[in-house]
Amino acid sequence: MRDCIEKGIRIKAVGDIGRLGKKQQALISDAQHQTAEYKNLVVQIAISYGGKDEITKSVRKIAEKLKLGEISSDDITEKTIESCLDTADIPSIDVVIRTGGNHRLSNFFTWQTAYSEIYFTDTLWPDFSREEFYQIVADYEGVSINMGR
């Protein structure tokens, strides 16, 4: 944690933190609070996380806002949905590297990866090398992104 504070790294946990013990929940909460304003890098920790569950929770938040009259159905846009996600204040994911030969996202940040570059490798995670990572970064730097908007 000290390194994150010294280097301006924000810690953000998403998912069902409630499944952890009280001590772990307090540690995560404290880390998030102490680093909330940092912008150099965001380390996002997914604990008992699922993309479909995150979107479902977002829809529930929107339904509650509708019920309370805070918004109307005309106010429901992509931006509204994004504002209710666990990752509301985190930029979308630019690159997903899927190791181990799997060619699916497996419910991983379903909304946030809509425009991500996805790299699949047969290399298992423990064997994933710095060289392979650098090659993926180099490939990504040459990609022209069309966000569809």
- Check if the beta carbon of residue 46 is closer than 8 Å to that of residue 15: yes
Residue 144: its pLDDT value, please?
A: 73
One pLDDT digit (tens) per residue for the chain, 149 residues: 889 999 999 999 999 999 999 999 999 999 999 999 998 998 899 999 999 999 999 999 999 999 999 999 999 999 999 999 999 988 888 999 999 999 999 999 999 999 999 999 999 999 999 999 999 999 999 887 665 54
Residue 90: its pLDDT value, please?
A: 86
Residue 147: its pLDDT value, please?
A: 58
Residue 149: its pLDDT value, please?
A: 47
Q: DSSP letter string over 87-149?
A: TTTSPPPSEEEE-TT--S-TTSSTTTTTT-EEEE-SS-GGG--HHHHHHHHHHHHTPPP----
